Amino acid sequence: MINSIDFNSIYRSHLYWDRKDTFGLGKIFKDLKAGDILLDPFCGGGTPIVAALQRGARVIASDINPMALFLSRVLISPVALFALKEAFKKVENYTARSILENYSILCPKCGKKIYFNYLKWNNDALKRVPESVYLSCHHCGLNKQVSLSKEEITRQIHLSNIEPKHWFPTDPICGRNRTAAKYFCELFTGRNLTSLSILHNSIEKISSVRCRDILHYVFTGMLFDCSLMQNSLTNPLSSSSGLSGGWLSPGFYIHQASQEKNIWKVFVNRFKGVLRCKIKINSIIDCLRISGSIED
Ligand SMILES: [Zn+2]
């Protein structure tokens, strides 16, 4: 039986559109027996597959979006946890220091160099301006939102506009777009785009396909949190689960008051959440065979 805490770790492991909660689905599927076949023609984020597999059913799943199939396959596949933790460690060794440097700031209380949690921007005017920064200093214990000095505002604007050296997508936005941005990359600050490209580049270097896929699952699940679509009125970094909510509405937008989050901290939080999800998945799906077609 999946309890509500376990349900959270599976359901909130990714922000794919309109995911259904595994706990509720378990009640809907209560009459499903081992050996039954469930057809899920629009599988989306894959939580109904988990609920059906948990009851011993076989599942035929499809979706028009290849991303949905990828996420579903990664979600239900068990993984060796030690290998996954090792893969994370490699990414940490490759990237953590260089990413964190982009979020450095001097603690206003003790003067030591720390890395901020997020910067609050005002996107109201034509020129975006950083308003305040949220800090938690492990040296002196300072843990609050503080305003920025004139010099620090200039420095943060400069850091926020750095350009990626690694690959990043340059696709135009299609579908519902309620911003002046024409490209997806414009939904991110230069700093966050740079940090994400460093992270993506290092994930690509992981040799284990299964671990690499799970890290891509973590990566794609954090993109909303790292974009200017994130509202500064919420603080997903403080979420006890390490996993936050998602899009406020369909389409793309830039919040008037957005947060520029520390990408490394978001990645670590989200990885921890996905790790909890995989621990649960390992415990409820011990034997799995995925076929590419019904004939297999
Ligand atoms: Zn301090």
Give pLDDT tens digits for 52-92.
998 889 999 999 999 999 999 999 999 999 999 999 999 99
Higher local confidence (pLDDT), 235 or 181: 181
Ligand 1: centre distance to CA 134 (Å): 12
Measured in angstroms, how far is the CA atom of residue 141 from the centroid of ligand 1? Answer: 6
* DSSP-derived secondary structure letter, 35: T
- Separation of 86 CA from ligand 1 center, angstroms? 31
Nearest residue to 26 (alpha-carbon basis) of 59, 2, 56, 58: 2
Ligand 1 centre from 144 Cα, in Å? 11
pLDDT score, position 266: 95
pLDDT in tens, 137-168: 999 999 999 999 999 999 999 999 999 999 99
Percent of the chain with pLDDT over 90: 61
Centre of ligand 1 from the C-alpha of residue 142, in Å? 6
Location of structure tokens 């957005």 = 258
Task: Report pLDDT digits (tens) over 251-285.
Answer: 787 877 888 999 999 999 999 999 999 999 998 88
What's the CA gap between 212 and 218, in Å, rounded? 10
Task: Tell me how many helices (H) and strands (E) the chain has.
Answer: 9, 8
**pLDDT on residue 264:** 97
Instruction: Write down the pLDDT at residue 26.
Output: 76
Q: Is the pLDDT of residue 247 over 80?
A: no
Fold of 4-76: Rossmann fold (3.40.50)
ipTM (interface predicted TM): 0.99
Question: Where are the chain's structural domains?
Answer: 4-76, 81-275
Give phi and psi for 60, each to the nearest 5: -110, 115
Distance, CA 17 to ligand 1 centroid (Å)? 39
The SS3 of residue 191 is helix
152 CA → ligand 1 middle, Å: 16
Q: CA-to-CA distance for 46 and 91, rounded, in angstroms?
A: 26
